[in-house]
Amino acid sequence: MPSDATPNPYADAVAFGQRMQIYRQRRGMSRPVLAGFLDKSHSWVKQVETGVIQPPKLPMILRIAELLRVRDLADLTGDQSMHVDLFIGPGHPRLAAVKSAVDAFPFASDRQAPSTLHLRHRLDRAWNARHSAPNHREVVGELLPALIRDAQLATRQADSAADRQAAQAVLSEVYSLSQFFVAYQPDSALLWRIAERGMVAAQESEDPHAIGVAAWLTAQAHRDSGPAHFDAADAVTTEALRFLEPRLADSEDKVLAIAGALQFEAGYTAARRGENGTAWGWWDKAEKTARKLPADYYHPITSFSQAIMGAHAVTVAVELHQGGESVRQAARADKTVIRSRPRRARHRIEEARAYQLDGQPDTALATLDKAHEAAPETVKYNGYARRIVLEETEARQPERRRRASDLAVKLGLLAA
C-alpha cells in the first residue's frame, strides 16, 4: 500500500484513535467541531486520535459512533467481539417474503388483476394497520407481498392510459409502504430498489401526490446514507417542491401536506449539516404550510399535520445538538396527540435524545419505555434508541443500569 494511502479502518492493526480519525475525516468533520459536539477540547480529540491517551469508555464511544455515523461498533473499536449495528435493526422474519415479491416482477399471469379501487381500499387498510398496530412491521410485512404482486399486475393489465396512470399511482404508494417496512433492516440494496421503482411509478402516474411521496422517501434514503449523500437529498427535495409549488393553490389537502413534509425534510437535512438558521427557516415554512391544513388533518403516509410540527421542532433541535432547546421543544410538543403509534414512538425517541443531550439520562430511559409501550418494533429498529440504551447499561448508578439492561433485553441487544 502506498505510504499516503488512506488506512483501512476494518484492518485489525489500526488502533481506535486512527479509526476515529479516518471516520471523522470521511464525514468531513474537523477536530474542533467533533470536540464541541462531545463537550470535549480540541486537544482531547487529538490526543485520542494520536494514541496519546487511552480510548474512552463505552458511553463516549457510542456518542462518537453516532456523530460519525459508524454503523457497527466493531468498525470503530477494532474489537470483533463488539459487533453492534447501531443504525440497522435485525432482519424481520417477513423480510424475505417482501423481498421475493419485489424481486419477482413476473411479466405474464393467468389471473385477472384486482381493480385499482380494490387495491386502494387494501392499501388504505394497510396504512391504517401500520399506524394503529404496536407490532406494525409484522402486520405490514404480512400484507405487503400480495399487495406488491397485485399492484404490479394491475399496471400491466390496464386497458387505457388513464387506468394505467391510476394503477401506477397505487403501485408507487405500495412501494412507499414497502420502504417503511424495509427501512433500518439489513438490506440496503433492496431499500434502494424499492425507492427507485416507487419514483418511476410515481412519475409514470403523473400524480402530484404520488410524486411528492416518492420524492419524500427518496430524500430520506439519501440523507440516511450519510453526509456524502446530503446534497442528493437536497436536490430531490428542491426539485419536488419546484414541481409541486405551482399546483398548491388548487390542490387537495394531501398535496399541500406532502409539500409541507418536503419542506421539513429540507430542514432536517440542514440540521444534520449543523446549519442552524437554514434548518429553522425550513421548519418555519413547513409550520406555515401546516397551518393552512384543517386543524384535525393528518396525512396518512408522512403524518404531516399541525400536531406533528412540535415533534419536528424537537428533531431539529436534537440534530443541531441543542440540548436545552430540544428539551424545551419536547415540553411544548408533549401537549399534542400524535395519532400514529410508530410516529408517536419515534417522537418519544427524539425526546429521549433531547433528554440525553441535556444530561437527563433517567428521563431519557423513562421516555424510551413510553416509546416501547407505543410501538415496540419502532424502538427495536431505531439506532438512536439502541445507542442510548447501550450507553446506559454502563451507567455507574445501579438502578439506571438495571433499567437500561431490562430495556436492552426487550430490544434484543442483551440476552435475557
Gap between the Cα atoms of 364 and 243, Å rounded:
40
Position 77 pLDDT exceeds 90: no
**Poorest-pLDDT segment among 67-81, 87-101, 219-233, 362-376:** 67-81
pTM of the model: 0.79
The contacts of residue 406 (CB under 8 Å, 6+ apart) are: none
* Count, residues in the chain: 416
Gap between the Cα atoms of 267 and 287, Å rounded:
11
Owner of C-alpha cell 418536503: 262
Owner of C-alpha cell 417477513: 94
State the pLDDT at residue 224: 84
Q: Which residues of 230-264 are buried (b: 16+ CB within 10 A; e: fewer)?
A: bebbbebbeebbeebeeeeeebeebbbbbbbbbbb
Gap between the Cα atoms of 383 and 246, Å rounded:
38
Q: Which residue range forms the structural domain that includes residue 50?
A: 16-77
Contact 232, 222 (CB under 8 A): yes
Averaged pLDDT, 182-200: 90
State the pLDDT at residue 71: 66
Alpha helices (runs of H) in 245-375, residue ranges in sequence order = 253-273, 276-291, 309-319, 323-333, 341-357, 361-374
Gap between the Cα atoms of 35 and 39, Å rounded:
6
Regarding whether 188 and 140 lie in a shared domain, the answer is: yes
Number of domains in the chain: 2
**Poorest-pLDDT segment among 62-76, 96-110, 131-145, 150-164:** 62-76
Angle value at C-alpha 220, between 210 and 234, nearest 5 degrees: 90
pLDDT band for position 415 (cuts 50, 70, 90)? low
Domain CATH code at residue 57: 1.10.260.40
Question: Which pLDDT tens digit goes with each residue over 194-237?
Answer: 999 999 999 999 999 999 999 999 999 999 887 888 999 999 99
Averaged pLDDT, 311-322: 92
Regarding whether 95 and 53 lie in a shared domain, the answer is: no
Residue 170 is assigned to a structural domain of this protein = yes
Mean confidence (pLDDT) of the chain: 87
Last residue of a domain, one of 160, 181, 206: 206
Averaged pLDDT, 68-72: 72
Averaged pLDDT, 46-51: 90
Q: Which residue has the higher pLDDT, 260 or 78?
A: 260
Regarding whether 148 and 122 lie in a shared domain, the answer is: yes
Regarding whether 196 and 102 lie in a shared domain, the answer is: yes
Percentage of the chain surpassing pLDDT 90?
53
Position 359 pLDDT exceeds 80: yes
Position 11 pLDDT exceeds 50: no
